[in-house]
Amino acid sequence: MQVMSATAITNPNASWLNTRGMWLGYLTSVAILHFILLSVPLFSTAMAWTLTHVVHNVGMYIMFHHMKGTPYPTGDQGDVRRLTNWEQIDNGHQYTPTRIFLTSVPIFLFFLASFYTFHDRAHVTVNLIALAVGVIPKFPALHKFRLYGINRY
């Protein structure tokens, strides 16, 4: 809570991904990650693409679906303390533009990764698992879902 900031936005986490330049910045970050991985001489192009996909999805899972609450005190007396970042986006409304965008990025990366790995069986298996990790937590039906109470508190 900052002084002179008495607004109706009690939780900035709900709207920060809608702000100007966030989507472009997000895509640019994915591109930079991919270029870094491509620059490593050890990896073939196929490996780099799969790694981009996997690293992106794992990082996205940790950032959006594992970390809960806010790093700062919010004006709603801790209403979102038990919600993951994904569940806080747009205050829980589903099918908003940001949510559709963030759901489509892993899917788009999956298609790219499959293409650039020539649909090699091993790569596709790994990419499918990564796709599951990236997309299944985003289903509206799994809003506020906790498997066996893991990560509930």
Q: Give the separation between CA 137 and CA 102, rounded to whole angstroms.
A: 12
* Beta carbon nearer to other proteins, 60 or 80: 80
The residues with which 68 forms a beta bridge, in sequence order, are 84
In the list 19, 31, 81, 140, the residue contacting other proteins (rule: CB under 8 A) is 81
**Site for other proteins contains 147 (CB under 8 A):** no
* Beta carbon nearer to other proteins, 41 or 73: 73
In the list 36, 63, 78, 132, the residue contacting other proteins (rule: CB under 8 A) is 78
Q: Give the separation between CA 51 and CA 42, rounded to whole angstroms.
A: 12
Three-state SS annotation for 65-97: HHCECCCCCCCCCCCCCCCEHHHHHHHHCCCCH
Q: Is 84 helix (H, G, I), strand (E, B) or coil?
A: strand
* Beta carbon nearer to other proteins, 68 or 99: 68
**Site for other proteins contains 71 (CB under 8 A):** no
Judged by CB under 8 A, the stretch of 33-41, 46-54, 70-78, 110-118 that binds other proteins is: 70-78
Q: What is the per-residue binding string for other proteins in 5-44, x denoting contact by CB under 8 A?
A: -x--------------------------------------
Q: Is 68 helix (H, G, I), strand (E, B) or coil?
A: strand
Question: Cα 52 vs. chain centroid, distance in angstroms?
Answer: 13
Total Cβ atoms within 10 A of residue 98: 19
| Residue ranges that bind other proteins, judged by CB under 8 A | 1-4, 6, 73, 77-79, 81-82, 149, 152-153
